[in-house]
Amino acid sequence: MATPASATEVLAVIPARSGSKEIADKNIRVLAGKPLLAHSIGHALASSSVSRVIVSTDSPVYAEIARSYGAETPFLRPEEFAQDTSTDLEVFLHALTWLSTNQRYVPDICLHLRPTSPVRKPSDIETVIEILRDRPEIDSVRSVSCSPETPFKMWLRSPEGFISPVIHSDIPDAYNLPRQILPTVFLQNACIDAVRTNVITSQKSMTGKNIYGYVMDDSFDIDTEQDLRETEIYVSQNGSNTPEAALPLGSSETGCSTYCFDIDGVIASIEANNEYDRAAPIAENISLINSLYTQGHRILLFTARGSVTGIDWKDLTEKQMNEWGVKYHSLEFGKPAADYYVDDRLLSIDQLKTRVVG
């Protein structure tokens, strides 16, 4: 029986380390007006089956950019897992371990979206997730494209100069046969990968044993300046399938908006018996608010602190906002007029991301 979509927790991870030898700062190079990583964030946010979108990066600058486009960056990736030789498995094991340890969060499926593949359809993401969700015998789904070259005509060369076929098959002298009658061969295109979390954590593998190939026609894997130029030409003619709403959080063709944030439950943790002096900052949400502020939007804070007891919490509240680094234009004890209200009962932070970005 197929697992209902609502019962499947899907975590999209977008790896974006800052080091790149071929193209400096490759993951934030601009393509069609947006950093490369923003395209993958937009694709993930536009996919209804994706529960969370996280960018794994070692750079605070990259993290800030990722947050401005609606992704979460709950951690910075340690330098040891941000090297040229670092593997996907190391990156995902670190992310899953951190989320399990610090947030008690364990997804059912991990979606791997590389920033260097900025051209993909959210509908393809949905299909890949659906395949893995509905077929329990499959460990992972990997997107593939027809290979432009056949490995049946590829050779290994010994130090003495002798060559031997790369592929040994039941087809006699396959390397002497016309390409047209040889088996079709597919190349992994690095565009969309989905794998069950327990395959990563238990088998220590990004694929497992039963791998389903999802065939795609168009795919771009940017590794060189030439790749970037070719992709730019393609996107200018065909688009990248990135939703138009995938702009920096809060950006709008009609100008800036007014965002009104409740303090307790959004900026500060909710404490029993209204002990506001014991509240702790919610760093991720504060970062989102500060991004909106930096983009020129009007940020209003409101709170009902003291409305029932009559206790004056103004000085404490202002001190907390200052110490926690919250950027805002005004603080009101009541509910001012605004375009958007974000609190623990009405519009949530996640809904705000969906409304503004997805």
| Domain membership flag for residue 245 | no
Residue 251 located in a structural domain: no
Give me the domain span that covers residue 276: 258-356
Q: Do 141 and 214 form a contact (C-beta atoms < 8 A)? A: yes
Determine the 3-state secondary structure of 71 from DSSP: coil
Does a structural domain hold residue 28? yes
Question: How does residue 271 score in pLDDT terms, banded at 50, 70 and 90?
Answer: confident
| SS3 labels along 228-284 | HHHHHHHHHHHCCCCCCCCCCCCCCCCCCCEEEEECECCCECCCHHHCHHHCCECHH
Per-residue pLDDT tens digits for 286-308: 888 887 777 667 788 888 888 77
Task: Look at residue 357 and tell me whether its pLDDT is greater than 60.
Answer: no
- Tell me: do 271 and 337 sit in the same domain: yes
- Same structural domain for residues 218 and 267? no
Does 354 have pLDDT greater than 80? no
Residue 136: per-residue pLDDT? 96
So what's the pLDDT on residue 304?
82
Lowest mean pLDDT: which of 75-79, 185-189, 268-272?
268-272
pLDDT at 153: 95
**In this structure, is residue 228 part of a structural domain?**
yes
Q: What pairs with residue 146 in β-bridges?
A: 186
23/58 same-domain check: yes
Q: What is the mean pLDDT of residues 247-259?
A: 54
Six token digits for residue 170: 């039941």
Question: What pLDDT shows up at residue 192?
Answer: 97
**Are 140 and 274 contained in the same domain?**
no
Count other Cβ atoms within 10 Å, centred on residue 304. Answer: 15
- Domain check: are 9 and 30 in the same one? yes
Answer yes or no: is 47 within a domain: yes
Do 113 and 26 have their domain in common? yes
CB 40 within 8 A of CB 115: yes
Place of tokens 């393509």: 31
pLDDT mean over 325-331: 86
DSSP code for 156: E
Q: Are 300 and 221 in contact (CB under 8 A)?
A: no
Q: Are strands 298-302 and 330-332 parallel, antiparallel or unpaired?
A: parallel
Compare 295 and 224 and report the one with higher pLDDT. Answer: 224
Cα gap 172→350, rounded to integer Å: 58
Which of 7-21, 42-56, 179-193, 258-272 has the least mean pLDDT? 258-272
Q: Is residue 253 part of a domain?
A: no
Number of structural domains found in the chain: 3
Same domain, 98 and 208: yes
For all residues of the chain together, what is the average pLDDT?
A: 86
Domain CATH number, residue 352: 3.40.50.1000
Residues 160 and 206 in one domain: no
pLDDT digits (tens, 9 = 90+) for 195-216: 999 999 999 999 999 999 999 9
Name the band, by pLDDT with cuts 50, 70 and 90, for residue 343.
Answer: low
| Per-residue pLDDT band at 88 (split at 50, 70, 90) | very high
Determine the number of helices (DSSP H) and then strands (DSSP E) in the chain.
9, 14
The pLDDT of residue 337 is 47
| Same-domain pairing of 280 and 352 | yes
Q: How high is the pLDDT of residue 255?
A: 47
Q: What percent of the chain has pLDDT over 90?
A: 57
In a domain, 337, yes or no: yes
143 and 18 in one domain?
Answer: yes
The pLDDT value given to residue 252: 45
3-class SS at 7?
A: helix
Cα–Cα distance between 241 and 243 in angstroms, integer? 6
At residue 42 the predicted structure's pLDDT band, cuts being 50, 70 and 90, is very high
Say what the pTM is. 0.66
* CATH for 128: 3.90.550.10
Q: Return the minimum-mean-pLDDT range out of 116-120, 122-126, 274-278.
A: 274-278
- pLDDT of 10 > 70? The answer is yes
User: What's the confidence (pLDDT) of residue 61?
Assistant: 92
Instruction: Supply the pLDDT for residue 2.
Output: 41
Is 244 a member of any domain?
no
Query: CB of 69 within 8 A of CB of 57?
Result: no
Same domain, 174 and 194: no
